[in-house]
């Protein structure tokens, strides 16, 4: 009889001690699902949005004229900063009720997906080459403007009468710490990315999913696309089918719009 009481007490202690671990395991599993969903969604969306985009061709063209490592570093610095900034903007909307941001963000993803499918349907076969040539002309004109400013031992010598003294001082200060190619790659990429579909998508994802997963996935996606552009951008521009990429992109947006409604890892 005594042995039965001792055995029952032991089993009760074991069951009670296992409860906290079970709860922690469940919580950890939920956190992991949220992070993984945010990571995969951000990575996928960035890749389908940036492959063949303006920032892609900026990195590709600059890399053919200058150091690939410098161009890659400058572009990734801009894209990484933009990803963090966009994710924080999305995270700031968490003060709004979760159900509202969840359904609105899913709806916006569906709109993006349908819009991309419509664009792909009416897109020409040489869309990538046309975008490449357009960016090349734009960069050539910008480099001609930059060539009017020469940096000799730190101070800036202005050959163009249109440059102001304040801008010259800021330019001289920046060029003391960074190379001209790094600054050009960083600034052109940042301006091209501002207001782009990938930035808006990052804000939307961070508003409903794990913000750390969004940042890591988005930054990795940008690094992969920029690295691909720097290594073989011109070849890709000639071989890539923007219509196919856009079709795939539209499908990816629709998939994550639906999956968010089904899974909703952020629900409490």
Out of 47-51, 166-170, 241-245, least confident range? 166-170
pLDDT above 60: residue 191? yes
Q: Is 257 exposed, middle or buried (0-12, 13-18, 19+ CB in 10 A)?
A: buried
Question: CA 188 to CA 138: how far, in whole Å?
Answer: 11
pLDDT above 60: residue 257? yes
Contact 178, 26 (CB under 8 A): no
Q: HSE on the CB side for 208, CA within 13 Å?
A: 26
Could you tell me the pLDDT band of residue 183, with boundaries at 50, 70 and 90?
Answer: confident
pLDDT at 144: 62
pLDDT at 60: 86
- pLDDT, tens only, 93-137: 877 787 787 788 888 888 988 988 988 888 776 666 677 777 777
pLDDT above 90: residue 214? yes
pLDDT at 237: 66
- Look up the pTM and report it: 0.71
- Give, in degrees to the nearest 5, the angle at Cα 206 between 205 and 212: 120
Contact 67, 84 (CB under 8 A): no
Find the radius of gyration of the CA atoms of the chain.
25
Question: CA 42 to CA 209: how far, in whole Å?
Answer: 10
pLDDT at 125: 65
- pLDDT, tens only, 132-146: 777 777 777 766 665
Q: Give one DSSP letter per residue of 20-88, joined into a string.
A: HHHHHHHHHHHHHHHHHHHHHHHHHHHHHHHTTSHHHHHHHHHHHHS-HHHHHHHHHHHHHHHHHHHHH
Question: CA 105 to CA 1: how far, in whole Å?
Answer: 63
Q: Is 99 exposed, middle or buried (0-12, 13-18, 19+ CB in 10 A)?
A: exposed
Partner residues linked to 150 by β-bridges: 157
Contacts of 115 (CB under 8 A, 6+ apart): 250
């Amino acid at each position: 009889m005594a042995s039965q009481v001792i055995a029952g007490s032991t089993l009760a202690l074991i069951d009670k001690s296992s409860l906290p671990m079970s709860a922690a395991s469940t919580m950890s599993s939920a956190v992991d699902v949220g992070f993984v969903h945010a990571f995969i969604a951000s990575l996928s969306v960035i890749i389908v949005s940036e492959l063949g985009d303006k920032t892609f061709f900026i990195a590709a063209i600059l890399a053919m004229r200058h150091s690939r490592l410098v161009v890659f570093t400058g572009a990734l610095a801009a894209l990484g900063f933009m990803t963090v900034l966009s994710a924080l903007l999305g995270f700031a909307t968490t003060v709004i009720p979760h159900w509202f941001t969840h359904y609105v963000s899913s709806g916006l993803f569906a709109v993006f997906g349908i819009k991309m499918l419509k664009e792909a349907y009416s897109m020409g076969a040489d869309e990538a080459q046309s975008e490449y040539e357009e960016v090349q002309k734009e960069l050539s004109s910008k480099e001609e403007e930059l060539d009017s400013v020469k940096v000799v031992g730190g101070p800036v010598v202005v050959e163009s009468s249109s440059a102001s003294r304040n801008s010259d001082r800021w330019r001289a200060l920046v060029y003391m710490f960074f190379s001209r190619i790094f600054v050009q790659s960083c600034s052109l990429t940042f301006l091209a990315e501002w207001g782009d579909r990938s930035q808006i998508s990052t804000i939307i994802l961070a508003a409903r999913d794990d913000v750390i997963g969004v940042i890591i996935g988005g930054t990795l996606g940008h690094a992969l696309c920029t690295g691909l552009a720097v290594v073989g951008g011109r070849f890709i521009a000639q071989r890539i089918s923007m219509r196919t990429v856009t079709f795939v992109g539209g499908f990816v947006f629709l998939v994550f719009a639906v999956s968010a409604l089904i899974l909703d890892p952020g629900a409490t």
